[in-house]
Structure 1
Amino acid sequence: MIKLHHVQYGRSFRILWLIEEAGLEAKLGPLEIVEYQIGSKSMREGALPQLSPAMRIPAIEIDGLEMAESGAIMEYLIETEAPEFGRAPGHAERADYLQWIHYSETMASLIENLNLQMVFLRPPAKPSPVVVKLTVARLRGALAGMEARMGDHEWLLPSGFSGADMMMGFNLFAAPYYVPLDEFPKLQAYKARMEARAAYQRACAREGEQRFYAQDFYPVPEV
């Protein structure tokens, strides 16, 4: 059995997508999803603190294996179960593959900061307009860096789809709540290609309608 400790449309979506894309249930057994709500006491109770040092999702359990951190889980499962989605040592794209895997976390940390400021804060607390403005600018810059490097290929790597693209799936789901993708036509097309993949659609069907964001776009608050 695969047990995925999960928050809907959070970083753990990356692992859910990989499970669908690589057909891991057929190889490793049925998937059990343990879902949490961000900020709830359930994340401090039960199995998660023993699995994740930071008590964060995702965490995964497979036949005695326990891991946390989406990038680490992605790399491990690809190396052991789905090498077609990786770029092994010695491959010409190995360095770019690893760079994009980790670039996804650079971007995700900015999204997380904006989520904290714009979604989690409740009255009487207020988000800082200066912090939000700076973070949005950094997120826009990270998206612009991707746009500039997409070239004419469909996926992040010229040779085709990989785990690096699955790492970016969460990012391009969440980023448009803060930075419109209208100014990034290559990323818009890239996102559409992600959403057209059958495994992506199966992962989304398991997620259901997103329940985290209360509005379609969060502008920088006025000073």
Structure 2
Amino acid sequence: MLTLHHLDQSRSFRILWLLEHIQQPYQLQRYYRDAQTHLAPASLKNIHPLGKSPVLEWDGKVIAESGAIVELLIQKLAPSLAPTMDDPAYVDYLQWIHFSESSAMVPYLLKVFNAIELQQGTQLAFLEQYTQAEFDKVFGFVETHLLDKDFLVADRLTGADFMLGFVLNGLLYNMQQAEHYPNIKRYVDGLSALPSWQAAVEIEQQGVAG
């Protein structure tokens, strides 16, 4: 049995959504952010030294990093969610998988952290300008790519969508950027209409309500 160590409002949503989509039985161990710091609880360090989520326990292994977990789950349990290695789309698939936690997440998090610092009265010079330039470049690139597309790769749902969909949903609704990215909004709205996405949202909300 798989065990997902799931932190609310985190990258772990990707794994929750994927497990629901492939209808793989799993156990869910919930963790909740500190109400004051909004950080993960120290108890997560009992599972993995970094104290972050998601963490997946599977066949005696403790696996961190959402990208690695997504790739492993798809390779072993849901190969239809990835192009085959001899398919030209496989290169695009890999690029988008890794884009999600590198090119996309860096300006996203910088934007979040800069906003916190500005609220505290910190004066930002280089970092604010750099962040905005990277933010516009990266998400402008995604916006252009998604013109007339429902999915990132091969005109079908793949692991790349499980990875990047989480980031783009945050872009639209946590950062209130929907009006600036109509193609991204259409894409995210399509993903969020999937029964598996809705099931994952319901499971997370049940935990918060509990």
Shorter-chain-normalised TM-score: which range? Answer: 0.7 to 0.9
Residue in 1 that maps onto 2:39: 39
SS in 1 for 2:104: helix
Verify the 8 A CA contact 2:54 2:66 in the aligned structure 1.
yes
Verify the 8 A CA contact 1:136 1:179 in the aligned structure 2.
no
> Where do 5+ consecutive residues of structure 1 fail to align?
212-223
State the 1:180 CA deviation. Answer: 1.2
Calculate the TM-score normalised by the size of structure 2.
Answer: 0.84
The residue type equivalent to 1:3 in the other structure is T
State the 1:3 CA deviation. Answer: 1.6
Residue in 2 that maps onto 1:115: 112
Pairwise CA RMSD? 2.5
Measure, in 2, the Cα distance between the counterparts of 1:91 and 1:70.
24
Calculate the TM-score normalised by the size of structure 1.
Answer: 0.79
State the 1:69 CA deviation. Answer: 0.5
> Where do 5+ consecutive residues of structure 2 fail to align?
none
State the 1:85 CA deviation. Answer: 0.6
Q: Which moved more, 1:100-109 or 1:151-160?
A: 151-160
State the 1:143 CA deviation. Answer: 1.2
Measure, in 2, the Cα distance between the counterparts of 1:81 and 1:11.
20
State the 1:139 CA deviation. Answer: 2.0
Query: Residues 14, 159 of structure 1: CA spacing in aligned structure 2 closer, same or farther, 3 A cutoff?
Result: same
Say which of 45, 58, 61 aligns to 1:62: 58
Residue in 2 that maps onto 1:221: none
Residue in 1 that maps onto 2:186: 189
Answering whether residue 165 of structure 2 is matched by residue 169 of structure 1, we say: yes
Paired residues, number = 201
Query: Residues 44, 78 of structure 1: CA spacing in aligned structure 2 closer, same or farther, 3 A cutoff?
Result: closer
State the 1:133 CA deviation. Answer: 4.7
Measure, in 2, the Cα distance between the counterparts of 1:208 and 1:32.
14
Say which of 72, 81, 89 aligns to 2:77: 81
SS in 2 for 1:156: coil
% identity of equivalent residues: 28
Query: Residues 7, 118 of structure 1: CA spacing in aligned structure 2 closer, same or farther, 3 A cutoff?
Result: farther
The residue type equivalent to 2:89 in the other structure is E
SS in 2 for 1:91: coil
